[in-house]
């Protein structure tokens, strides 16, 4: 029998976790023969609701779920964990401006970064889902000086999956016949969903759709998809976000297929002229757990301008929380 792997999930009583935890317990992340122990973090007032979620997890009688720890203390939640899904965040309330949202979340992610630094496994793989995800990830990693920037990532996989799906629908093909879309930059309305290097049944995507559709339909549809789901459902994307979190972490562990890439928010090394040290979403390949930015893609003026716009927003977010970066 394999040794259990320890997985932390924050915001464990929230909407996304209500899908994510059951996917983890079903073996969708590490496989159906890999035992796991879940470490669930919530704020104190949400612990009673979390107890209810844990009851439901027990009621699944999952053969791989070998234990559940629930706590409101990040140092207990992150103790010796191999993977951390940082989902919990403060939502924006009606009276809050974007900069207030940045501040309250920055405070949460600096505490969690410090706790990861102190108690997590040194090879921990951290995925930040809670918004503003890129900047929250930057805060967490800069408060974890004993871990490497490579331990941290943030989620643009939901946007990537949305892009795959929109392009497949437009070309009337299966989603498996579309590859190599890219989400550049921030997980926000300024992100740049790019199909200039995408392939549909091994043909260049832009030879199958016209530029007008790409620019005026595809890009805004992907950028605004989260808002469109909220409008229809009255709640933000949850099951698809949990699915993307599983996809992201699974790619990090099992790697990408030959000739394919995925989008991931990672610590910029300056590739494609993006400022080093921002958490920026790039096309990446992954092998043996090592993430590498796809190099050498031609970037035309249209793309360059959109990549810079989302970079500018990330720089602004970073300067708003500069005091929390060490």
How many residues of this chain interact with ligand NAI, rule: CB under 6 A? 28
130 assigned binding-site residue: yes
- Residue tagged 């989260």 (tokens): 226
Is 238 a residue that touches ligand NAI (CB under 6 A)? yes
Tokens of 178: 């579309």
Over the range 24-33, which residues count as b (16 or more CB within 10 Å of their CB) and which as e? Answer: bbebbbbeee
Does residue 158 bind ligand NAI (CB under 6 A)? yes
Q: What is the DSSP letter of 149?
A: G
* Minimal distance, residue 32 CB to ligand NAI, in Å: 25
Q: Which of 187, 197, 211, 323 is catalytic?
A: 187
> Does 232 appear as a known binding residue?
no
Q: Does 155 bind ligand NAI (CB under 6 A)?
A: yes
* Partner residues linked to 286 by β-bridges: 291
DSSP string of 60-77, one letter each residue: TT-TTEEEEEEES-HHHH
Which tokens go with 180? 């190599």
Q: Which stretch binds ligand NAI (CB under 6 A): 26-34, 55-63, 130-138, 190-198?
A: 130-138
Q: Is 92 known as a binding-site position?
A: yes
- Angle (deg, nearest 10), helices 15-25 and 239-254: 40
Q: Which span (52-60, 125-133, 250-258, 303-311) binds ligand NAI, by CB under 6 A?
A: 125-133
**DSSP for 240-274, written as a single string:** HHHHHHHHHHHHHHH-PPTT--EEEEEE--SGGGP
| Helix locations, 143-233, DSSP H | 157-171, 211-213, 219-223, 225-233
Is residue 259 at the binding interface for ligand NAI, with CB under 6 A as the rule? no
Which lies closer to ligand NAI via its Cβ, residue 200 or residue 242?
242
CB of 175 to ligand NAI, least distance (A): 18
Which residue, 53 or 307, has its beta carbon nearer to ligand NAI?
Answer: 53
Q: Does 115 bind ligand NAI (CB under 6 A)?
A: no
Binding-site entries = 11-17, 92, 98, 105, 112, 129-131, 162
List of residues contacting ligand NAI (CB under 6 A): 10-11, 13-17, 41-43, 46, 87-91, 108, 129-131, 133, 155, 158, 187, 236-238, 241
Catalytic residues: 187
């Amino acid at each position: 029998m394999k040794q259990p792997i320890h997985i932390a999930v924050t915001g464990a009583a929230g909407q996304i976790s209500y899908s994510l935890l059951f996917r983890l317990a079903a073996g969708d992340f590490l496989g159906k023969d890999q035992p796991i122990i879940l470490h669930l973090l919530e704020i104190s007032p949400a612990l009673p609701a979390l107890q209810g979620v844990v009851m439901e997890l027990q009621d699944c009688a999952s053969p791989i779920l070998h234990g559940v720890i629930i706590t409101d203390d990040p140092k207990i939640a992150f103790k010796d964990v191999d993977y951390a899904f940082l989902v919990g965040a403060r939502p924006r309330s009606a009276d809050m401006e974007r900069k207030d949202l940045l501040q309250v979340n920055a405070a949460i992610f600096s505490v969690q970064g410090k706790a990861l630094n102190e108690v997590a496994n040194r090879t921990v793989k951290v995925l930040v889902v809670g918004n503003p995800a890129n900047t929250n990830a930057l805060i967490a990693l800069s408060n974890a000086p004993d871990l490497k920037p490579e331990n941290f990532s943030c989620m643009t996989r939901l946007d990537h999956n949305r892009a795959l799906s929109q392009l497949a629908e437009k070309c009337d093909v299966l989603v498996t016949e579309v590859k190599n879309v890219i989400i550049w930059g921030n997980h926000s309305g300024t992100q740049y969903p790019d199909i200039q290097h995408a392939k549909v049944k091994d043909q260049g995507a832009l030879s199958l759709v016209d530029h007008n559709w790409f620019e005026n339909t595809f890009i805004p549809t992907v950028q605004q998809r989260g808002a469109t789901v909220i409008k229809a459902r009255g709640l933000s994307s949850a099951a698809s976000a949990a699915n993307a979190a599983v996809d992201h972490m699974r790619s990090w562990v099992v790697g990408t297929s030959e000739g394919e890439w995925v989008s991931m928010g990672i610590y910029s090394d300056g590739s494609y002229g993006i400022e080093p040290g921002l958490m920026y979403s790039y096309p990446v390949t992954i092998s043996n757990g090592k993430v590498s930015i796809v190099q050498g893609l031609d970037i035309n003026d249209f793309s360059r301008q959109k990549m810079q716009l989302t970079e500018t927003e990330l720089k602004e977010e970073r300067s708003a929380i500069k005091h929390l970066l060490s």
